[in-house]
Amino acid sequence: MNVGAKRGAMIGTREGTFWTPAHQRDALVVLLTAVTGAVDAIGFTRLGGVFTSVMTGNMVLLGVSAGKSDVSLGIHTGVAFVCFISGSLVGARVAGHATKGQDFWPRPILTALALELAVLTVFAIWWESVAAVPTGTSEYAMLGINAVALGIQSAAVLRFGISGLSTTYLTGTLTQLVASFTKRNEPMVGRNVNVLLALIVGAGLGAAVAIKVPRAAPAVPVGILAFVVVCGEIVFHRRTGVERRSADATSHADTSDGAGVRRGRGTAPPG
């Protein structure tokens, strides 16, 4: 049994059959999708009306900007597109690629998400410094920062190595969900439904705060992402580390007891 599977078995035994490591991972991925929705909503409502994660949509907007001779839309779309790609490159470099027998939540993914959190924190500080009313260069820069953050997240989620799992480009997830209704006992149905609902909820929450309490808008994605990073550390690294050391100690004690029994059997009785 590989290391990742052993750790999963320990957690699964402790938590029961439902709240397995796979379900824990999926729950955090759903929350990451809410982060995407919130960041996209902020970009769409307050940073030029373009997306920070849906690059296919931005390609359409880029074509529209050319057809309408809308320079502003073209620049906003171009900034988001280039910065998302840059973030994806950085995220792939930090998170690496999926490996056989890896943990449910590999440490490089956590590192990449922590980097995303740092990027969004920079955005939040800058957002507050301009009283939630960025203009000109600041608007383009903040749009770019958010696109970089979601690019990092997109690459980090790819590190799981699970086909169809995404928190940013979700048209494929919707198609997968519809197609799964033609199959029996499709395991991905629940996760895909939750991911799509999280996108809607995150976008709705992000948009509502961005419009009604604009200065607090960054708190939505930053707060959710911080929760994911902390949970990923505690659930998949610190707790499993403690459980692994406990299992090793138990195994060592059993070995010592067994050796003692064998020595006791081999000792001649006193004359």
Domain CATH for 161: 1.20.1250
Q: What's the pLDDT at 13? A: 45
- The angle at the Cα of 92, spanning 88 to 98, to the nearest 5 degrees, equals 135
Q: What's the pLDDT at 246? A: 47
Q: What's the pLDDT at 16? A: 54
Distance between CA 162 and CA 84 in Å, rounded?
21
CB atoms closer than 10 angstroms to residue 181: 9
Q: Which tokens sit at 216?
A: 């607090």
Residue 268 lies in a domain: no
Count the domains in the chain: 1
Residue 263 lies in a domain: no
Residue 254 lies in a domain: no
Q: What's the pLDDT at 263? A: 54
Residue 104 lies in a domain: yes
Q: What's the pLDDT at 237? A: 87
Distance between CA 120 and CA 142 in Å, rounded?
10
Residue 267 lies in a domain: no
Q: Which tokens sit at 159?
A: 């590190």
Domain hosting 53: range is 3-248
> For residue 239, what are the CA distances in angstroms to 14, 59, 96, 232, 246?
11, 43, 24, 10, 11
CB atoms closer than 10 angstroms to residue 12: 18
Residue 260 lies in a domain: no
Q: What's the pLDDT at 264? A: 54
Phi and psi at residue 94, to the nearest 5° = -75, -45
Residue 264 lies in a domain: no
Q: What's the pLDDT at 172? A: 84
Distance between CA 204 and CA 182 in Å, rounded?
30
Q: What's the pLDDT at 240? A: 56
Residue 255 lies in a domain: no
Q: Please list the rounded mean pLDDT of every run of 10 residues in the chain (271 residues).
A: 48 60 93 97 95 92 95 96 97 93 92 98 97 95 97 95 87 84 73 93 97 97 97 85 48 49 51 46
pTM of this structure: 0.81
